[in-house]
Structure 1
Amino acid sequence: MATKGKFIVFEGTDGSGKSTQMKMLGKYLKTKGIPVYGTHEPTESPFGALLRSCLTGRVETDERAIAALFAADRIDHITNSVNGLLKKLDEGVTVLCDRYYFSSFAYNGGFVPLDWVIELNKPAMSLLRPDLTIFLDIPAEESMRRVARRGETERYETMDRQKRIRDKYFDIFRMFEGRENVAVIRSEEDKERTQANIRAAADKLFGGEK
């Protein structure tokens, strides 16, 4: 039986560089002989497609509905019989995921009661917790500069919301201290420097395996 893979999640405000850094880490782990599968939330499932329509404003809905859609998309992401997270991990593949339940807590929990959002995500938490969560930290001002360069904005991409979301992340990390393995890493303009810090956190997780 294959050794179970590791589950590494990337978190951060918008424009923090999660996708880029996740790909860089994936390439690094592959050079160490570690099989890697990259994924993201919202997913490409029907739940994720509807969720993206809500986030881009094509579908107008309440914040609570968005929180519920995130939770539903996440359960399907975990349990899907074709390419679900549990299936990949059981096959010995290390999974890198761009956003997971901390995103729900920080984004949705900043605008509806956090206790309710946590309760909504308890099924996901009982099924699969990350071995490591990497939070890429940038000030809200830098976040908005990077988003502006991208040329399009989504529901949460305003200065006020990014500040509230960043603050909420740190509130939640304090709340879950001792129960979750979180590495807070400054997202530098120098991508290689940021990646070096991420690799150090990953190396610590894998210990002497590589």
Structure 2
Amino acid sequence: MGIKIIIYIFFLSWAKWVCGSVNFTGFDNKNMIGKHVELEGRYKKEYIDRFFLEELRKHNYMNNNVILLSTSRHYFNYRHTTNLLIAYKYLKYFGDTMDKNILLMIPFDQACDCRNIREGQIFREYELFPSSHNKETKIENINLYENLNIDYKNNNVRDEQIRRVLRHRYDAFTPKKNRLYIMEIMRKIYFFI
């Protein structure tokens, strides 16, 4: 009987400590998003998405929508598209925004252009080879065009389409992935050009 009481007291004090630490520090959303990326390939995606979306909906992370728009239509504006893709990767992997809440609009596809030396790839920096003045070698091998979800591409990026997205008025044939994900209490839209 005495051991049972000690076990109950231990269990209740442990439960109180856990609840108190969660209430004090808050719910760990950053690790949840990282866990989502980790588990995405292992289990059924539908179950994981539903589970995490329920948790994130409680904590106001679904209320942020981001529209990333490149206004450059020529290959020589490679840097503008690169900056946009860097912002996309940052928001997707290090920010608190899920890919469902990011609309990426790129009017010209530099990765698939014939002038691009490495087809299907966009890099943040060019390779800097050593010379007599520069002894350091700086090679950047991060391909920004991997794991990319481009929502509007080439001729789909028009002023009329941008207005439709901002007003949330789409055609009946617009797929769900090309729409802003909104809830009843949606208030925040970030626009990056």
TM range (shorter): under 0.3
**Which is helix-richer, 1 or 2?**
1
Could you tell me the TM-score, scaled by structure 2's length? 0.27
- Greater relative contact order structure (CA < 8 Å, 6+ sep): 1
| Superposition TM-score, scaled by structure 1 size | 0.26
